[in-house]
């Protein structure tokens, strides 16, 4: 009898699947005009809700949660998008130059460890969280817009 794990969420790609750095494969993100936010640029399968077109990736300040980072930009943090930003290419697209890449288990990841200029990816998808901050890390935050009075809906979701 084979053991299968039906509880682990399906990942669009493994966190450390890319063997070279930077830019191979090309970044799945594009810089939005007149902004420091990124949006998803690659076609492909998207989660049923919310659509990937609503994704805006921001880097937090030190000691700032993704909840606060997104709020300050007039957005909300969307945990469903963490699977798409937990990639080495995201750091490069945000101009965070990594001298090393680590895959760890920590609720604040993915994040950039400033002191060592290290990109830290989340190994355990069940720990993705918009809450939490660290005085040593700049978090990668999956934000999205929303309709006034209806946070569950992005502006272009209907």
pLDDT for res 48 = 56
Which of helix, strand or coil describes residue 81?
helix
Cis peptide before 152 (omega within 30 of 0): no
> Residue 17: its pLDDT value, please?
43
pTM: 0.71
Instruction: Tell me what pLDDT residue 137 has.
Output: 97
Q: What is the pLDDT of residue 2?
A: 53
In contact, 118 and 100? CB cutoff 8 Å: yes
Upper half-sphere CA count for residue 120 (Cβ side, 13 Å): 21
- Six token digits for residue 5: 């794990």
Label residue 14 exposed, middle or buried (CB < 10 Å: 0-12, 13-18, 19+). exposed
Cross-strand pairs, 119: 101, 112
Mean pLDDT (10-residue bins), the chain, 158 residues? 51 44 62 78 60 92 98 96 95 94 97 96 96 97 91 81
Which pLDDT value is given to residue 149?
85
Cβ-in-10-Å burial (0-12, 13-18, 19+) of 153 comes to middle
């Amino acid at each position: 009898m084979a053991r299968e794990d039906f509880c682990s969420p399906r990942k669009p790609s493994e966190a450390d699947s890319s063997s070279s750095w930077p830019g191979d494969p090309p970044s799945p993100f594009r810089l939005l005009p007149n902004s420091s936010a990124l949006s998803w640029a690659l076609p492909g399968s998207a989660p049923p809700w919310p659509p990937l077109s609503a994704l805006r990736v921001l880097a937090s300040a030190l000691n700032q949660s993704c909840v606060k980072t997104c709020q300050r930009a007039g957005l909300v943090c969307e945990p469903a998008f963490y699977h798409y930003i937990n990639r080495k290419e995201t750091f490069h697209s945000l101009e965070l130059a990594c001298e090393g890449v680590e895959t760890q288990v920590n609720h604040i990841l993915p994040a950039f460890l400033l002191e060592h200029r290290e990109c830290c990816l989340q190994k355990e998808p069940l720990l993705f969280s918009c809450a939490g901050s660290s005085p040593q890390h700049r978090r990668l935050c999956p934000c999205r817009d929303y309709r006034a009075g209806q946070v569950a809906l992005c502006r272009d979701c209907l």
